Structure 1
């Protein structure tokens, strides 16, 4: 039985056939079960079918090796492809924003290792990278990484940050500044030639604190000598004191050009850097109106309140 279409085309009708009269019969294709209900093509089925290791075309490394390779590729990606990524930092409560490449500018620094290592960085509650350190002067570290020099007035403070984050170019730059050059090359080199200088500073603080009970001030006697001859003379003077000889702190002798007054200034400076208020003057020996200042002994006064 035939019928004529709108354009005069003759179409044979097969009653009971599942095929529509408008769809021609498609030839069977490999991997297709039916022209009407196709199954997944072979390439999709193969991706889901388990394959035996004996017939696998590629050898798979053990899980530990796969994880290690992933960590390594993550570090590589972090250090290169994501250098232009903008990130936020929380440095001790101070919020900063910068590019990841800025932090990775010096690969050997501790700062770069914080963001270029397999270990996961610490995040705060807002998802910012967190560094547990006072961030007051971190802006000057970022400024240097961006091509700016830190202010000379903050050379010592920024120098401490440069040493902590391991940024050697910044540390060397600050060491050449007038303020740090005089401190590192001049004063500290001189104090390194004064025997037991730092230990004696600690002894002075302990003696002053021990005598501060129920007192507004406490005093510490200091003996300062430049050479061995002065040391012998100072020893005789100390033996004639009425005070406890064990509490007298001795500085010197040393082989350097700075004078006794220079060393006294250094002692006062380093004690005040520890947060104490102190002053000094020549210690007087003798009795009543016959007292006279001793050229070797000095009295440091600690004021507590």
Structure 2
């Protein structure tokens, strides 16, 4: 905040064992990482005493330390990946935004020489790379030829897992009693795992479609598979 960046008063002193003013203001550190400002404490940055950041704020003579016009330490690194590094120093946990790559955080951890964070990121990468792939999902499609008076019954009696996709009017008409009826093609689909085994019971098989409608609604003698949409 602006108060933290302001110059300390000349009458700073210790009250009841607590340091006020100048000494306390020195605890707060301002960093300019790739043009983005971060405000944190000296204690946080020195969580790993051998890290670049701790050496920086301790003004290690072996480091070439530059500051901008606001008094912030200049660090020419990607600010996007500095966030997870700073948060680790704050609470000791590796929290990775889903939009960030672990390899990017590893690069920063190695640059700042934060030993434990390097270990955590490498462990996370190893877990990610060795995670078994998810079972692929596919869609099974069935096409049924039905009369219009069968449509309601068809939809209400489909087996669990099957869903209605499309209704196509094929235009042919025939006389049934004293009424004319239009025929339709009804497309239904079901998602299933590509690892589905042959030992599944009939009602769990991806190609099983249980219909309780009358003989006027019949399955056409073909089907086809398409991969699931990404």
TM over 0.5: no
Which one has the bigger helix percentage?
Answer: 1
TM-score (norm 1): 0.31
Which one has the bigger strand percentage?
Answer: 2
TM-score (norm 2): 0.40
